[in-house]
Amino acid sequence: MIVSGFLVLLIATLFQGSFGICFKKYQPFSWEAFWALFSIIGVLLMPHIWCAILIPNYFHYLTSTPWSVLWPGILAGFFWGISSIWYSRAIDYIGVSLVTGINLGLSNLLGSLVPMFILNKYPSASALVTLLVGQAILMVGVVVLSKAGFIKDGQSKKESVHAVEKPEISDALGNIARGNITNGNLAQSAGIMQDVASNAPDDDPVSAMAAMDSQDAAATQTAKEAKSTKTKSLFFVGFIMALASGAGSAAINIGGQFSIYPVNLANEAGVTPMFANLLQWPIVFFGGFIANFGYAIYKLIKNRTFSDYTKPGCGKAYLKVLLTSFVWFAALGVYAMATSMLGDFGPVVGWVAFNGLALIIANLWGFADKEWKGYPKARNVAIIGNVIIIAALVVVGISNGM
């Protein structure tokens, strides 16, 4: 049963590691136009659709759950909803691979240990020590992967600085030097040179050239500094968002354990345990829907981007929303099934394996999307990080069998 559980978990990780790539390239939708639809279809409706298909009269178990049991799960989902917004924006700033690594690393640590206290179930001392060792190795892998991201960012900033220049002047000089003066560029070249020369004393060509060099250098330096500052700022913002989203992601697993009441009701009624586990998600993600949809609507109103839904080519964006919604919830739906097959500590060990394997899948997508192209040193460090993560998952698997 445990072996089958890990096989089912592997399927869940394929979805989990793949959905991040779906959050990229959703044009012509703005972020808020995409996120509002995703909140409705993926976060609110998908949990109910899966439950309706797999659990007869599923809504009865939800309505039979006391409010005192419902609100902690909804609150955890609301916190996750806020963090998921940060997650999607962080991807735009620093890429899928690095965001997923940071997010899943912190989510794994909190999301696996806190449920032990909620369930009030603890493994043997040797199993717990082995699990913690696996956790420590996994965190090392995440740190190495994050280091790869910083190396890539540093190289990218250097390239950005070197790429900044003022091409009008160099182009004008090049045209004159090569005798490449045509009707199309004569006036443009002459105008540029006249503007530069006007800053020098009359009848002094040497001063004119010096003024031109000085102006070009000053403009280039200013542009370099602005570009470097902006790139550094965006990377820092993305990194902080990724950290915050990791803490929020752990709230999914924690909220799921708070919402176990309807699952137990369904089990008592004879519902297959792996399907009954799905009943935790409509509760958790109702809170997530409130946070996500509320923020998306606010941005739609503020930016006046409701017209995105009728822009030319938006049909592909609608399909992207549907695909993202399915892939995203399929990861959690299949994960819930797997935890029921992994024994008493399924929510603990399963969460670690779920996040670790998903991280590897996400990095494969990052490589396929050419996020590491042109950064061989950073890519090699990222590969080392993934190898360490694989070793950590082996240790975690051993702990579940002890």
pLDDT in tens, 334-383: 888 888 777 666 666 677 777 777 777 777 777 777 777 888 888 888 88
Residue of 82, 54, 75 lying closest to 249 (CA atoms): 82
Q: Where are the alpha helices (DSSP H) in 55-185?
A: 58-63, 67-94, 96-119, 125-163, 167-177
Q: What is the pLDDT of residue 301?
A: 96
- pLDDT tens string 34-78: 999 999 999 999 999 999 999 999 999 999 999 998 999 999 999
CA distance 247 to 350: 18
More reliable by pLDDT, 35 or 96: 35
The answer to whether 349 and 112 are in contact (CB under 8 A) is yes
The amino acid sitting at 394 is V
Tokens 């089912």 sit at which residue? Answer: 8
More reliable by pLDDT, 179 or 271: 271
Q: What is the pLDDT of residue 383?
A: 86
Q: What is the pLDDT of residue 221?
A: 55
Give, in order, the Cα–Cα distances in Å from 308 to each of 22, 305, 325: 18, 6, 19
Give, in order, the Cα–Cα distances in Å from 109 to each of 132, 298, 308: 9, 33, 39
CA distance 251 to 268: 26
Per-residue pLDDT for 96 more than 80?
Answer: no
What average pLDDT does the segment 161-188 reach? Answer: 49
What average pLDDT does the segment 313-323 reach? Answer: 91
- pLDDT tens string 187-224: 444 454 455 445 545 555 555 555 545 555 555 555 55
What average pLDDT does the segment 268-283 reach? Answer: 93
Token output for 49: 């659709």
0.85 surpassed by pTM: no
The percentage of the chain sitting over the pLDDT mark of 90, rounded to a whole number, equals: 27
Per-residue pLDDT for 181 more than 80?
Answer: no
Q: Which of 56-70, 78-92, 265-279 has the lowest mean pLDDT?
A: 78-92
Per-residue pLDDT for 269 more than 70?
Answer: yes
Q: What is the pLDDT of residue 278?
A: 94
Q: What is the pLDDT of residue 296?
A: 94
Q: Which contacts qualify for 384-387: CB closer than 8 Å, 24 or more apart?
A: 384/144, 385/101, 385/141, 385/142, 385/143, 385/144, 385/145, 385/147, 385/148, 386/141, 386/145, 386/359, 386/360, 387/141
Confidence category of residue 169, pLDDT binned at 50, 70, 90: very low
Q: What is the pLDDT of residue 225?
A: 53
- Check residue 122 and report its DSSP letter: -
Q: What is the pLDDT of residue 291?
A: 93
Q: What is the pLDDT of residue 176?
A: 46
Token output for 234: 């965006």
**For the chain, what is the mean pLDDT?**
78
Helix (H, G, I), strand (E, B) or coil at 178: coil
CA distance 21 to 84: 14
CA distance 151 to 21: 22
- pLDDT tens string 110-167: 776 766 776 666 777 887 888 888 888 878 887 887 788 778 877 776 666 555 555 5
The percentage of the chain sitting over the pLDDT mark of 70, rounded to a whole number, equals: 72
Q: What is the pLDDT of residue 73?
A: 93
End-to-end CA distance of the chain: 15
Confidence category of residue 284, pLDDT binned at 50, 70, 90: very high
- Check residue 41 and report its DSSP letter: I
More reliable by pLDDT, 324 or 96: 324
Token output for 145: 């992967």
